Amino acid sequence: MSGQGKTAAHGKHENHASHIVPVPVYLAVFATLIVLTWVTAYVSTVDLGPLNIYVALSIAVFKASLVVLFFMHVKYGTRLTKMIVGAGLFWLVLLLFLVMIDIWTRSWMGVPGR
C-alpha cells in the first residue's frame, strides 16, 4: 500500500527520485551561464540607451531559468514543484508591480496648490 493519499493519476508519473541528469547537460548549461555572464558584462559597456537594463535583466532571467530548470531539476520535477516556483515568481512580480503602480502614477495627479 503506497499510503500517500495521492490521486490515482500520480502513479503514472515517473519516479522522480531516480531521475539523474546527464553530465553533458550540466556542462552545457554551465558553459552557457559563463558565456552569458561575460556577455552581460561587455554589453553593459556599450551604450544602448534605456535598453541597457532590459538587456541585462533579460539575460539574468534566462540564466536564472537555466539554473532553476537544470541545476535545480525543476524540468524533471513534479507539477507541484513547478507550481510552487511559478507562484513564487508571480508573487514577486505582484509585489513589485503593484507598488510601482503607486510610484509611476504619483505625478499624474498634481497636488493642490503646486
Should residue 28 be labelled a site residue for another protein when binding is judged by CB under 8 A? Answer: no
Residues 40-59 close enough to bind another protein by CB under 8 A? 40-41, 44-49, 52-53, 56-57, 59
Question: What is the closest distance, in whole angstroms, from the C-beta atom of residue 56 to another protein in the complex?
Answer: 4
Should residue 76 be labelled a site residue for another protein when binding is judged by CB under 8 A? Answer: no
For the chain, give the longest Cα–Cα distance: 74
Going 8 to 11 to 13 to 18, the CA torsion angle's sign is: positive
Should residue 20 be labelled a site residue for another protein when binding is judged by CB under 8 A? Answer: yes
Should residue 79 be labelled a site residue for another protein when binding is judged by CB under 8 A? Answer: no
What is the binding site for another protein (CB under 8 A)? 1-7, 15-18, 20-21, 23, 26-27, 30, 33-34, 37-38, 40-41, 44-49, 52-53, 56-57, 59-60, 63-64, 67-68, 70-72, 77-78, 80-81, 84-85, 87-89, 91-92, 94-96, 98-106, 108-109
